[in-house]
């Protein structure tokens, strides 16, 4: 097959006729398939049903230090949960606060606290004329939603396969005091599945921010979410690196067990310097008497230790790896021969990022929807939902069954080819 760029008008017209017929057939199937959100599938959730047996009415709900988990108290989480989540996050237990059921909630609280009360004695952001955040793009829509909600101006910074464009990050952070933070998904990023290189992490740790209260929001949501036993991405640990570089307080690191056990019923955590922890605890004590210790204990008893968690993640990988591979196989089969689109091939995480020819993403997603396939909205991966190239589409392969996913991808690639061919024809005319 010829690449679209090499086709003349007549060949492209023939291609459009053929694709329209294929598209019509799909429409007639009245499908309802969803590749929109990064949710685990049922089989993945079934892996954690043992959580329900880890505690029962006969269980001793005391911690190793004697704390009765059924009662109030323990603001920052039980020791054994700090130990387990610390191992997962590669941080010491003393640097960790265990929170409730969602890390996004912790991120929201962290921005909110800085906004109303300021970070470590600095002016609250609400009293400043302008507060800005750097947003590596494409990125995670819910990060952008938090900063948009607080009226924080978001500045796009391009992502590369080794992390954000660090020349730009360094230039902006060191020259503009109103830049107070950056959203990062350093490992198996949402949506590309990229992991930051050693050089990127080292450069982050060595930033020289103009703002004293600049913080890196290091969302390590996919820290142990590998797809393969062999090809696994590893990162330099950011808290340790910031300490070495003389910037010990510059980072807040977030994680949760959402995509390890049950999303929305897991445990979330923050790791940061002791100075930041003191600052946060002074607020937290007014917010809660303590989070859900029973759930913390349940997670500890279920996994035992980090080895248990790693073994558990292997079972997740066995379920979702074939789904990622099916998406990549179909993209390659249908789009490589016509030279349309670019996509990532992650070693972990929850997403594949697809870049359509400029100006096509919205039309592709609309077309897919009309054939019964729901994708993440075009534009969602950018602040203010504005993709300047109208190109990026996030593919979330985990939730549908393998058979549904293959059908959805067959439809998706027809939509991509049809949209691209029609656009090229329009441009010729
Ligand atoms: C990068 C990233 N951070 C956070 C979350 C949500 O985490 P939680 O369930 O802990 O709030 C997601 C979920 O998709 C995510 O992709």
DSSP 142-158: HHHHHHHHTT-EEEEEE
- Does the pLDDT value for residue 74 go beyond 90? yes
Alpha carbon nearest to ligand 1 atom 15, residue: 221
Alpha carbon of 113 to ligand 1 centroid (Å): 20
13 lies in some domain: yes
221 lines ligand 1 (CB under 6 A): yes
H or E element at residue 359: none
- Are 289 and 343 within one domain? no
Are the CB atoms for 39 and 398 separated by under 8 Å?
Answer: yes
Residue 53 lies in a domain: no
- The answer to whether the beta carbons of residues 391 and 361 sit under 8 Å apart is yes
Which of 236, 269, 304 is the C-terminal boundary of a domain?
Answer: 304
Residue 164 maps to a domain: yes
Ligand 1: does its nearest atom lie under 6 Å from the Cβ of 141?
no
State the average pLDDT for the chain: 97
Which whole-number Å values give the CA distances from 2 to 108, 272, 411, in the listed order?
49, 54, 21
Determine which residue's CA is closest to atom 13 belonging to ligand 1.
38
Same domain, yes or no: 38 and 119: no
Nearest to 236 by CA among 260, 259, 208, 205: 205
Residue 363 has pLDDT above 90, yes or no: yes
Residue whose CA is at the smallest distance from ligand 1 atom 14:
38
Looking at the structure of the chain, the number of domains it has is 2
420 CA to middle of ligand 1, Å? 32
Residue 274 and residue 370 in one domain:
no
Strand partners, 136: 157
153 Cβ partners below 8 Å, 6+ apart?
A: 130, 131, 132, 133
Give residue 131's pLDDT: 98
How many residues are given for the chain? 429
Assess whether 319 and 281 both reside in one domain. no
Q: Please name every residue paired with 218 in a beta bridge, in sequence order, or none if there are none.
A: 184, 253
Here the CATH number for the domain that contains residue 103 is: 3.40.640.10
The Cα 80–Cα 57 span in angstroms is 21
Asked if 31 and 407 touch (Cβ cutoff 8 Å), the reply is yes
* 254 occurs within a structural domain: yes
Residue with the smallest CA separation from ligand 1 atom 2 is: 221
- CATH for 353: 3.90.1150.10
The token pair that represents 318 in the structure block? 């066995």
Q: How many CB atoms lie within 10 A of CB 383?
A: 23
The H-or-E segment that residue 252 falls in is strand 251-256
Tell whether the model's pLDDT for residue 150 goes beyond 90.
yes
With beta carbons less than 8 A apart as the criterion, state whether 19 and 27 touch: no
Same-domain pairing of 229 and 335: no
- % of the chain at pLDDT higher than 70: 100
**Residues 107-121, mean pLDDT to the nearest whole number:** 98
pLDDT score for 429: 84
Q: Is any atom of ligand 1 closer than 6 Å to the C-beta of 258? A: yes
Locate the ligand 1 atom nearest the alpha carbon of residue 349 and give its number: 16
The string of pLDDT tens digits covering residues 310-331 is 999 999 999 999 999 999 999 9
Structural domain ending residue among the three candidates 304, 329, 355: 304
- State the Cα–Cα distance between residues 117 and 109, nearest whole angstrom: 11
Do 382 and 307 form a contact (C-beta atoms < 8 A)? Answer: no
Rounded distance between C-alpha atoms, residue 412 and residue 416, angstroms: 6
> Same domain for 248 and 266?
yes
Please identify, by atom number, the ligand 1 atom nearest to the C-alpha of residue 103.
10
CB 126 within 8 A of CB 115: yes
Ligand 1 centroid from CA 161, angstroms: 21
Closest Cα to atom 6 of ligand 1? 104
What is the pLDDT, as a whole number, of residue 60?
Answer: 97
Does residue 206 sit in the same domain as residue 79?
yes
Q: What pLDDT shows up at residue 37?
A: 83
What distance, in Å, lies between the first and last C-alpha atoms of the chain? 23
- pLDDT digit string (tens) for 380-413? 999 999 999 999 999 999 999 999 999 999 999 9
Last residue of some domain: 264, 280, 304?
304
In a domain, 102, yes or no: yes
In a domain, 142, yes or no: yes
Q: Is the same domain home to 172 and 315?
A: no
Q: Over range 217-243, report the average pLDDT.
A: 98
Spell out the residues 6+ positions from residue 96 whose beta carbon is closer than 8 angstroms to its own.
Answer: 76, 77, 82, 85, 86, 89, 269, 270, 271
Mutate to test the pocket of ligand 1, among 142, 254, 268, 349 (most ligand atoms within 8 A of CB): 142
Does one domain contain both 326 and 360? yes
Predicted confidence (pLDDT) per residue in 50-63, tens digit: 999 999 999 999 99
My answer on whether 101 and 209 are in the same domain is yes
Is residue 283 located within the same domain as residue 318? no
- For residue 56, tell me if it sits in a domain: no
Count of other CB atoms within 10 angstroms of residue 101: 19
What is the DSSP annotation of 23-36? HHHHHHT---EEE-
| 1 band by pLDDT with thresholds 50, 70 and 90 | confident
Buried/exposed code over 263-283 (b: 16+ C-beta within 10 A; e: otherwise): beebbbbbbbbeebbebbeee
Report if residue 421 sits inside a domain.
yes
Cβ(102) – ligand 1 distance below 6 Å: yes
Mean pLDDT of 217-233: 97
**pTM over the 0.95 mark:** yes
Distances (CA, A) of 267 to 49, 272, 275, 410: 16, 17, 23, 37
Residue 73 has pLDDT above 90, yes or no: yes
Residue of 95, 81, 182 lying closest to 140 (CA atoms): 182
**Do both 248 and 149 map to the same domain?**
yes
Residue span of the structural domain in which 398 resides? 4-45+310-428
């Amino acid at each position: 097959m010829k690449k679209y760029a090499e086709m003349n008008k007549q060949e492209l017209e023939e291609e459009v006729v053929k694709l329209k017929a294929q598209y019509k057939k799909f429409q007639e199937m009245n499908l309802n398939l969803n590749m929109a959100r990064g949710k685990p599938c049922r089989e993945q959730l079934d892996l954690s049903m043992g959580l329900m047996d880890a505690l029962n009415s006969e269980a001793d709900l005391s911690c190793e230090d004697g704390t009765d988990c059924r009662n109030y108290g323990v603001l920052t989480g039980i020791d054994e949960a700090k130990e387990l989540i610390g191992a997962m996050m590669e941080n010491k237990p003393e640097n960790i606060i265990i929170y409730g059921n969602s890390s996004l909630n912790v991120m929201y609280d962290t921005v909110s606290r800085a906004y109303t009360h300021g970070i470590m004695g600095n002016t609250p952001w609400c009293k400043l004329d302008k507060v800005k955040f750097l947003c590596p793009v494409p990125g995670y829509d819910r990060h952008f939603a938090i900063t948009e909600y607080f009226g924080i101006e978001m500045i796009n910074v391009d992502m590369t396969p080794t992390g954000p464009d660090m020349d730009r990050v360094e230039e902006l952070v060191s020259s503009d005091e109103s830049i107070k933070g950056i959203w990062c998904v350093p490992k198996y990023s949402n949506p590309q599945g990229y992991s930051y290189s050693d050089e990127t992490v080292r450069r982050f740790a060595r930033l020289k921010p103009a703002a004293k209260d600049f913080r890196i929001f290091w969302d390590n949501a996919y820290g142990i979410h590998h797809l393969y036993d062999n090809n696994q991405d590893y990162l330099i640990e950011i808290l340790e690196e910031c300490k070495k570089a003389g910037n010990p307080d510059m980072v807040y690191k977030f994680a949760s067990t959402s995509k390890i056990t049950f999303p929305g019923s897991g445990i979330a955590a923050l790791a940061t310097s002791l100075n930041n922890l003191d600052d946060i605890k002074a607020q937290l004590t007014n917010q809660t008497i303590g989070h859900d210790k029973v759930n913390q204990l349940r997670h500890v008893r279920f996994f035992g230790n980090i080895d248990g968690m790693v073994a558990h993640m292997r079972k997740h990988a066995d379920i979702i790896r074939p789904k990622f591979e099916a998406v990549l196989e179909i993209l390659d089969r249908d789009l490589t021969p016509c030279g349309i689109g670019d996509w990532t091939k992650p070693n972990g995480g929850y997403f594949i990022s697809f870049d359509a020819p400029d100006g096509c993403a919205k039309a592709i997603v609309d077309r897919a929807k009309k054939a019964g396939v729901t994708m993440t909205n075009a534009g969602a991966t950018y602040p203010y939902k504005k993709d300047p190239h109208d190109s990026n589409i996030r593919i979330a392969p985990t939730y549908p069954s393998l058979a549904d996913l293959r059908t959805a991808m067959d439809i998706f690639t027809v939509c991509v080819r049809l949209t691209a061919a029609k656009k090229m024809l329009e441009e010729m005319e």
